[in-house]
A and B are shown apart, each in its own frame.
Chain A
Amino acid sequence: YLVRKASLFISLLVLETSTTAEEHVSPSTTILRGTNRRNFVRVVESMAGARGILLKHLRVKVQAFPQNPKPNNGLFGLSFNAILRQFSEAVRGSFLDKSEVTDRVVNCVKNLQKVEPSKVTPNAHFQNDLGLDSLDTVEIVMALEEEFGFEIPDNEADKINSISLAVDFIASHPQAK
């Protein structure tokens, strides 16, 4: 990759020198022009970015050095941002305690108007035990989303049909607050 970019630069320099020459087109430059006409457009387009790309590429390499002097492969081929993100996610990945989640879920379900508070147990099924229908289930999942402050995608939300399933899902989700 670097070699190609370097060759493009060299070809660009050659082109520049050949165009500034006073005499007519010489055989050597015609050959160059022919092969590099394809690259010329690319070079012109990426002229501004080529330097940036080169620098960015160099920047990645330099950052990888403190980690490990080995060349780019696997983890160290990632950009600096990705490495930083991985470290911070490890810190942020704190799951909630299951009993705490159960308490919060049960309280949230009890606050719903349609639900009888006495029937709500940690093993209650929304439709079988609590006598709710699918629309109510969706409402409960939305209330849980608001309670724990994170978005539950639709395909996962369809599977949550009881309190125990909800607790399992939330306790295993790192973004639950």
Chain B
Amino acid sequence: MASTSVSKGQILSLYRSFLRTARQFRDYNIREYTKRRTVDGFRQNRGLTDPSSISAAFSEAKSQLDVAKRQAVVYSLYAPDIRSVMETDLKGKR
């Protein structure tokens, strides 16, 4: 941790990494949960102004990203064959 202040660009790239990691899940539920949780988590901390609390939230988010990446790997080993019903389009095709 070189500087205590986290830049906006870093936060946005962390956000993007979360969403990219979410895409790797084949399970619909986990994918949607990851997306929802990152959106909620980042929005909740949107109003932070104190640099120390911002960097604390940032490092916590980074550890969560590592968790998500590990889980993406583990889940891909046992990926389900059957797609969820939510992934069918209106015509009933997958």
Contact = CB atoms under 8 A, between A and B. Distances in A.
Interface of A: 133-135, 138-139, 141-142, 146, 154, 157-158
25 contacts: A133-B46, A134-B8, A134-B12, A135-B12, A135-B15, A135-B39, A135-B42, A135-B43, A135-B46, A138-B12, A138-B15, A138-B16, A138-B19, A139-B19, A139-B39, A141-B16, A142-B16, A142-B19, A142-B20, A146-B23, A154-B13, A154-B16, A157-B16, A158-B9, A158-B12
Looking at chain A's contact residues, is the secondary structure mostly helix, strand, loop, or mixed? Answer: helix
B18 to A, nearest CB: 10
Contacts of A142: 16, 19-20
- What are the 3 closest A-B residue pairs judged by CB atoms, nearest first? A142-B19, A154-B13, A138-B15
A176 B13 CA distance: 22
A17 B22 CA distance: 65
A135 B14 CA distance: 11
Contacts of A138: 12, 15-16, 19
B27 to A, nearest CB: 17
A115 to B, nearest CB: 15
Looking at chain B's contact residues, is the secondary structure mostly helix, strand, loop, or mixed? Answer: helix
Nearest to B13: A154
A55 to B, nearest CB: 40
Nearest to A151: B20
A146 B23 CA distance: 9
Contacts of B8: 134
Contacts of A158: 9, 12
A135 B43 CA distance: 8
Contacts of B23: 146
A123 to B, nearest CB: 24
Contacts of A135: 12, 15, 39, 42-43, 46
Nearest to B23: A146
Most B CB within 10 A of own CB, among A133, A139, A141: A139
